[in-house]
Amino acid sequence: MIQVAINGYGTIGKRVADAVRAQPDMEVLGVAKTRPNFEAETAIDKGFPLYAAIEEREHLFEEAGLDIAGSVDELVADADVVVDATPSGIGAENKSLYEEYETPALYQGGEDADLVGVSFNARSNFEDAAEADHVRVVSCNTTGLSRVIAPLREEYGVEKVRATLVRRGGDPGQTSRGPINDILPNPVTIPSHHGPDVETIFDDLDIDTLGMKVPATLMHMHSLNVTLEEEVDAADVRELFADESRLFLIPEHMAIDGSGKLKEYALDAGRPRGDVWENAIWEESISTVGRDLYLFQGIHQESDVVPENIDAIRAVLGAADAEESIETTDETLGIGL
């Protein structure tokens, strides 16, 4: 069994922990957290050994009545692999710790691409991670873009991608973030970082991205344009996408008009936390005008990278090939709405 340490038990970390537990070939060795908040409480309730990410704060956990299994150093030393799910920039600070104990590590998309040699998306470049000890699982938006671009490149060739990313202002729990009643070009300058980030997956891709922020918390929404190398029927693209397990085509009859109903559907379906691990593509939106393909897709910022982290664990340890890993991950999590 692969012993997985999870450093950072917030939005991503707690979901990765549950996903690891669901795998037949892995177990959660422990999770590390900086503060004894509600998530720390839940970790204990679930039986995940809890480690203090910062030694000086151990007493805060004790005062809150939460048992600490040890220091993060011990956790890293004993693990086969660490998933670093700390806030952006903290992963970079943690890298020397992982190197000290020679524990392979996965970082999240908020870290700079040049922190590590390999940026990872399971569908697009699984094999690249086999040669690296430090791998970055790209961000939710980059994951969402890569999953769509990969099959299009293989099937038709892609001349250029142009995407407008209408981003949620914050996650549901991020009460300090905005905007309220506003639409912000964000960043105002073009391109946003997303285009160059997708190029860490496809290094020869021509892509321009524009970002905005709006007063919503549930999901991001992409307005995507892909100029293909040949003219294609929209129906063919729908068929191509239907074969991709991590692309969910929302059928018209479901009458899902936005991210609110989509999340409600995921909750109704009994998914943990109402997670939508797949790109949610509105089937009716898939359109072609000459070589220009257009579509809308919802990207659940809290969860679409979770299966990618699971696959990255296997990739970096050489524990499975892409097909085998993706199939196991999808089956155990229940991916494929």
- What is the smallest separation between the CB atom of 276 and its own copies, expressed in angstroms? 14
- In the chain, DSSP finds a helix count (H) and a strand count (E) of 12, 16
- What is the smallest separation between the CB atom of 172 and its own copies, expressed in angstroms? 9
Do 268 and 102 contact (CB within 8 A), yes or no?
Answer: no
CA–CA–CA angle 248, 199, 149 (5° rounding): 25
Residue 140 in marked binding region: yes
Q: Could you tell me which of 144, 149, 134, 129 has the C-alpha nearest to residue 94? A: 134
Q: Which is nearer to its own copies, 122 or 250 (CB)?
A: 250
User: Edge to edge, what strands does the sheet with 70-71 contain?
Assistant: 70-71, 50-52, 26-33, 2-7, 81-84, 105-107, 134-137, 118-120
Q: Which is nearer to its own copies, 44 or 207 (CB)?
A: 207
Q: Which is nearer to its own copies, 103 or 209 (CB)?
A: 209
Residue 287 in marked binding region: no
Tokens for 300, please give them.
Answer: 């659940």
- Which position among 113, 140, 150, 256 bears the catalytic label? 140
- What is the smallest separation between the CB atom of 180 and its own copies, expressed in angstroms? 8
DSSP summary character for residue 210? E
Residue found by looking up tokens 């199939």 in the block: 327
Q: At what angle do helices 306-317 and 322-333 cross, to 10 degrees?
A: 140
140 is catalytic: yes
Binding site for its own copies (CB under 8 A): 162, 164, 166, 168, 179, 181-186, 188-191, 208, 210, 212, 214-221, 223, 225, 257-260, 282, 284-285, 287, 289, 292, 294-296, 298
Q: Which is nearer to its own copies, 48 or 282 (CB)?
A: 282
H or E element at residue 273 = none
Phi then psi for residue 162, to 5 deg, are: -130, 125
Residue 193 in marked binding region: no
Residue 297 in marked binding region: no
Amino acid at position 4, single letter: V
H or E element at residue 201 = none
- What is the smallest separation between the CB atom of 219 and its own copies, expressed in angstroms? 7
Question: Within 10 Å of residue 170's Cβ, how many Cβ atoms?
Answer: 17
Q: Which is nearer to its own copies, 152 or 212 (CB)?
A: 212
3-state SS assignment for residue 223: strand
- What is the smallest separation between the CB atom of 240 and its own copies, expressed in angstroms? 18
Residue 195 in marked binding region: yes
Residue 103 in marked binding region: no
Annotation: binding site for NAD(+): 11-12, 110, 168, 301
Which parts are annotated binding residues for D-glyceraldehyde 3-phosphate?
139-141, 194-195
Residue numbers annotated as active site: 140
Residue list for the binding site? 11-12, 110, 139-141, 168, 194-195, 301
